[in-house]
C-alpha cells in the first residue's frame, strides 16, 4: 500500500497531517502523504531520463535543482520519490529520506511575511522537525503542470521498473502505516 489516502486522521491529541520528510541540500522538505506514490533507490531508477512504474511515466529531476540549488552527489542514501497529484506525475531525486511523520494541524505554521516572492507558491508553510524545521511543499507546485511547458529534465530514454517480490531488484518501496485509517 502506498501513502495515498493516508494524510489526515484524528489522533488522540487532534487532527494530524501525515508527511514524508526528505532532505535536499540544506533543506528539510515535507511532502504530504497523499502525493507520495512510491520510493525508489537510485540504482533501480537509473541515472537519467524518466522512470515508468505501473504504466505511469515519471519525469525525474533533482529536487535541489527545482529549489534553485546545485544537486548533491549521489550517495547510498539518495532516493527517488515518485509523486502524483491531479493527473500529473513527477519523480524527484532527494539526498535522503528522513521518515514519515504525523504533524498536528495546530503545529503547522504559515510562512513569515518576509517570504514575499515565488517561494509563497512553493511552500504551504513549515513546522518544527527535530532540531530544525521542515518546509511543507505545496503539491500543486511540486507535481503540478509546468506553466512554461518544460519537463524537469530532457526526456531521453525511459527506465522500466518492474514490481517483484520484496527485497529484490526492481521493487518499488512503498511505506505502510500500521493502525491508521485507510481509504480504498
**What confidence score (pLDDT) does residue 119 get?**
82
Quickly list H helices, the chain: 42-45, 63-66, 119-122, 139-143
Give the separation between CA 6 and CA 159, rounded to whole angstroms.
28
Note down the domain range covering 113: 8-161
Residue 54 lies in a domain: yes
The answer to whether residues 33 and 6 touch, using CB atoms and an 8 Å cutoff, is yes
Owner of C-alpha cell 481509504? 183
**What confidence score (pLDDT) does residue 13 get?**
54
Each residue's pLDDT expressed in tens, for the chain with a length of 184 residues: 345 544 455 545 579 999 999 998 888 999 999 999 999 987 775 566 788 888 888 998 888 888 888 877 888 888 999 999 888 999 999 999 999 999 999 999 998 888 888 888 899 999 999 889 999 999 989 988 654 443 344 333 434 343 333 344 444 444 443 333 333 3
**What confidence score (pLDDT) does residue 69 get?**
82
**What confidence score (pLDDT) does residue 46 get?**
59
Residue 139 lies in a domain: yes
Residue 101 lies in a domain: yes
- Please count the structural domains in the chain: 1
In this prediction the pTM is 0.71
The CATH number for 134's domain is 2.40.50.180
Give the separation between CA 50 and CA 73, rounded to whole angstroms.
19
Residue 121 lies in a domain: yes
Amino acid at each position: 500500500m502506498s501513502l495515498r489516502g493516508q494524510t489526515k486522521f484524528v489522533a488522540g491529541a487532534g487532527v494530524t497531517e501525515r508527511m514524508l520528510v526528505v532532505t535536499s541540500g540544506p533543506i528539510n522538505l515535507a511532502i504530504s502523504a497523499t502525493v507520495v506514490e512510491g520510493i525508489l533507490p537510485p540504482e533501480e531508477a537509473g541515472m537519467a531520463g524518466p522512470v515508468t512504474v505501473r504504466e505511469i511515466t515519471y519525469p525525474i529531476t533533482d529536487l535541489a535543482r527545482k529549489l534553485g540549488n546545485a544537486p548533491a552527489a549521489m550517495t547510498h542514501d539518495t532516493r527517488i520519490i515518485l509523486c502524483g497529484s491531479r493527473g500529473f506525475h513527477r519523480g524527484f531525486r532527494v539526498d535522503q529520506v528522513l521518515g514519515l511523520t504525523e504533524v498536528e494541524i495546530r503545529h503547522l505554521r504559515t510562512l513569515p511575511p518576509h517570504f514575499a516572492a515565488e517561494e509563497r507558491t512553493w511552500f504551504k508553510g513549515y513546522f518544527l522537525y527535530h532540531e530544525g524545521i521542515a518546509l511543507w511543499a505545496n503539491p500543486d507546485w511540486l507535481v503540478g503542470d509546468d506553466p512554461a511547458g518544460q519537463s524537469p529534465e530532457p526526456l531521453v530514454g525511459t527506465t522500466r521498473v518492474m514490481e517483484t517480490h520484496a527485497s529484490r531488484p526492481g521493487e518499488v518501496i512503498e511505506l505502510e502505516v500500521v493502525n491508521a485509517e485507510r481509504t480504498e
